[in-house]
Structure formats: C-alpha cells, structure tokens
A = this chain, B = another copy of it.
Amino acid sequence: MTTARMEAFSDGVFAIAITLLILDIAVPTDSADDFLRALGDQWPSYVAYFVSFATIGAVWLAHSAITEYLDRADATLIRLNLVLLLVVSFIPFPTHLLAEYHGHPDAERVAVTIYGINLLMASVLVWGLWRYSVGEHLVRPDADDEEVQVLTSRLTPSLAAYVVLIGVGIFSPLVAVLGFLTIALYLIVPVGLVRRRQG
C-alpha cells in the first residue's frame, strides 16, 4: 500500500483544522466606541489561536518528516493515522473553550486541562506513528540510521513536558499555555537538525 492517499487526506485535514482556527476568534459586537480596547480585551483568543496554529503546524511537520522516511504503509498505520487526525481535528474545540472562558479561574483550569490532554494525545500519536513505522520496518531501507535516531529523539521529550504542563495548568493556566507554545516552537524550530548539519 502506498502512502500517497494517506498523505493527501492527512494534508487536507491538517490544512482545514489549522485554517478553521480563525473562526474561533470572535468579532466584537457593538464595540464601535472603544473598538481598540474591545479587540485588546480578547487577547487570550489570539494567544490560543497562535498556540494551536503552532501545534498543528508542528504535527504537520513531524508527519511530513515521518512519511518522507516511509517506504509503504500497512493497514494498522493507516488506522493509527486516522486516530491522529481525529485528535488534531478536535483541537479547535478546546482552543475555543480557552478563548471563551479566560478570566473565569475555575472554568479556565478545566479548559486548559482539556487543551493540554488534547495536545498530549496528538503528540503521543505522532510518536506512536513513528515508533510503529520503525518497529514494523515500514521505513525506507536506505534511510540513514542516524537520521532515524534524530527524528526519534526529537519526537520523544515533548511527551513528558506536556504531562508536567497539564499539572502546572491547574495552578496557572497562562503558564501552561505559554509552555504549550514553547513545545510547539521547539518542535518547529529545527535547532537539533541545524546543529547536526554543522557538526
């Protein structure tokens, strides 16, 4: 089974999920008098938008990297991938919760926990997709062993970080959200890869 169709469908879902996020930012109503302030007051919407965009972007990047090493897909991999798509296309919902319930401490704690679990699950599934591919020898035979190692080690540490931040979120939702952003940016900015190439 080739990976072409799986990639096309996944790209579609990632692209839609990432673009639908903008619908979670409300247009302020009846705020003509103090428009700039009304826009400013909903800053948590922009933060949530940016964190979710960065996270879905990071998942897409990891997904591209994984499929680039794949020689073929098997039936289980395609099902695992569907579960990843389920989790990614769910992200706009807690993003919306987070933006909507900023300033209500109790609700915000619930929202940030759901958000964190959602992001953690996306991260676990990307990691699982890669581990399964390596374990079942779906990776191209000519793939460089060291590169496979680098990708494995890049996808792993975020799992622990998400778990810690979900705990932190119970005390300080904002710190947790900034932590989620840091993970996404760490996964996007290719620090390790750049260093490796210069080495």
Contacts and interface: CB of A to CB of B under 8 A. Distances in A.
Number of copies: 4
Given A5-B67, A32-B106, A107-B35, A22 B89 contact: yes
Interface in A100-118: 100-101, 104, 106-107, 110-111, 114
Contact of A110 (B39, B76, B89): B39
Nearest to A107: B35
Interface residues of A, number: 62
A188 interface: yes
Contacts of A101: 32, 35
Contacts of A53: 86, 89
Interface string A8-25: 110111111111111101
A79 interface: yes
A20 B18 contact: no
Interface string A69-94: 00000011011001001100110110
A160 interface: no
A98 to B, nearest CB: 10
Given A15-B16, A19-B17, A104-B35, A68 B8 contact: no
The 10 closest A-B pairs by CB, nearest first: A12-B15, A32-B104, A35-B107, A16-B19, A75-B190, A32-B107, A19-B89, A57-B82, A13-B15, A5-B64
